[in-house]
Chains A and B, each alone.
Chain A
Amino acid sequence: MFSEQAAPTAQGLLSPPSAKPPTFPRVPVSGYSDCSQPFQLGERSFSRQYAHIYAVRLAGMRPGLEQRARSRWGNDIALRKLSELQAGEKCCVVGTLFKDMQLQPSILQEISEEHNLVPQPPLPKYIQPSDELILEDELQRIKLEGAIDVQKLVTGTILAVYGSEQDDGKFLVEDHCFAGLPPPLPWTGPSSDRFVLLASGLGLGSVSGEALLSTQLLVDMVTGQLGAEGEQSCAAHITRVILAGNLLSQNTQSRDTLNKAKYLTKKTQAASVEAVKMLDEILLQLCTSVPVDVMPGEFDPTNYTLPQQPLHRCMLPLASAYATLRLVTNPYQANLDGVRFLGTSGQNISDIFKYSSMDDYLEILEWTLLAGHISPTAPDTLGCYPFYKSDPFILTECPHVYFCGNAPHFQSKLLQGKEGQQVLLVTVPDFSATQTACLVNLHDLTCQPITFSSFGADSED
């Protein structure tokens, strides 16, 4: 956007300003509705076990999977529960996957005295060739082997397998299928170019302040204080900014003060206090000009389990005076100008990355959409609230834009579904590392990266 429209007016940078300073009104917000109610927790009771969330996940996704199994393998296939299996009979079973991994961090192994083990250091990936897949339904479980990629799949996925039980008690899989893309939503997007800026991983409070200049450039660009009239008119088309998590840096999470004696740490402040003040000032500059949605991330001061609740507005006293600031949950779902956005701050994708052979964040993002669930590894390896009534992470409607924050690079892809679904998949990169944000065009569902790099002392050009 910027390069095409700014080029003709580039000479404006070296000429005196025009006699009458032009104003660029920002495109008005025409339609916004927040659809994140399922992710907002009311009363929180942790006295329940996680069996409930798995039971409702299976019960909720079973009808859709049975329908997909019928359409894929024929209407007359036998749908059996594990307790009804007969050896040698070809049938289809719907259940939850469990991946038995040797390297999976287990608190019981760590504290077990007979092993005398040192706690395992965190690894980038915990997969091993000896991992096994087990299918569970409401009552029983069975080992899976055959035409199924053990390394790729993760615990908690609901899928349908077609095959037969062998004599040794294992299930030989001939084919399997997932829930597939959810049903499409009607498209009521805007008729002209409208942009939404997606950024994540601002990483405030880190030791090095290199990303601060890029953050300030981002803010200045969005508020129209950078560039000549060309850039300013482009920036006026940005209707919203979504900050997808990790506003604070990982450095603010240090817990050294917990181990020291009280008399040494009495006057020290948590690093996150200073970082939140910086965040407040940055958000103040943004909120005076554009609506901002702030999602919490892994290192932000909110709860750890998914769904993360919005940051409290008392932490941002200056910015929360403006109605343009919206503190939202992670995951976040909303209708912006008729376009349905759904996204997370990236914890679900990075958790699947650790336990699966898939390396590409965009591939994992697409896979979660095809599996019909935002975060199948919750609650196994990712903290999750013990829901009992329904699993809010099941995808019931297909969003138009599906994003995840804090990815290593920027990637985007337009996915077309068989029932007319069109989804723009975006992996928003970590801003503190890559200084890149994403501009999503709501009119034609395209996405372009925008990089705010500064020239450091040791860079060549």
Chain B
Amino acid sequence: MESNAGTTETRSNVTVPDGGEVAAFESLQFTDEIHRLISAPGTDNASSFTALLELPATQVVELLHSPESVKLIVASAPNVEDFKGSFHFPSNTGLIQKDARFSVFSGEGNNKNEKSNSPEMTSKNSSANLEKAVKSEPAETVSSLPLVSDPTMENRNIKRKDREKKVKGSTKKSKTATNERLEDAEKLPYVHVRARRGQATDSHSLAERARREKINARMKLLQELVPGCNKISGTALVLDEIINHVQSLQRQVEFLSMRLATVNPRIDFNLDSLFTPESGSTMDGGNFPSLVTPLIWPDVQVNGYRQQFQHQWHFDTLKQPIWGREEVCNNYVTLENSLLSCDSSANSAATLHANQLKMEL
């Protein structure tokens, strides 16, 4: 996959120039941690989504043989703007797994012009019966197959919004028109939804259904991203989990920033001296060793505020489903251990300092 290749490239770029840096500061495990952090392989999301991406081709073949008429034009390319991250936004995957009768394609909201297609579509919709549509469907799916395979395999940059809006009585269309449509499919801004059998076919309900499908597709992605949401069914509970997750992440940021605040003064002194002109990745290796210089002062500070934080820590670890809960717990434990070690050594001084600080505040 392109993006994976891109990540490997960047990773190699990061490690090679850092080799010299690491050698220079070998004794500092800090740099190793940072390098490991930065050059760590992508999260597991990438693997799961790329595995899911293999589905489209096979699913299309499956759907070809289904008795119901399904025209599947898969919009595979994720939206460039909206998403980044370890996953390729395979908005089609959730939809492919849907009922074969119901062909809804998830594309990204885009304002490209599709005027040429709409008249085609309306003419297509106006006539012919379902049987003819069935016959035309497989032909269209066949012609759509090469298009499908290409985008899934090659390029994530192309925005493809392929949704076909077809009322039940759709016409039998000429091959040329369908091919045109498929080629223009990349520029479709409209959301096209097929009406299910026995369901209302007015535009409002169709649009509503399209919107709901869009939302459901994205909710599925969210479920996969947030740990522990896979088994939960029901939008409200999933939203609950998501809210908890976001809140816990925000609280972690707050807490970590407070923790870093105690360390801060040392950072300032050394950053200025070592902040050489940015050379991309080498800067990371060059700067962080500076932070490692002896930090006697912060230990004393942290003790004073330990009690305030402990409640929050315990609440976080026990109550909320935290992302990476295990490692968070470990971090809390190590922090407490380090604090305890400092505690024994400088207890009286710590309390004195803490009192002084509180009075200052």
Query: Does A associate with B in a complex?
Result: no
The residues of B with any CB-CB pair to A shorter than 8 Å are none
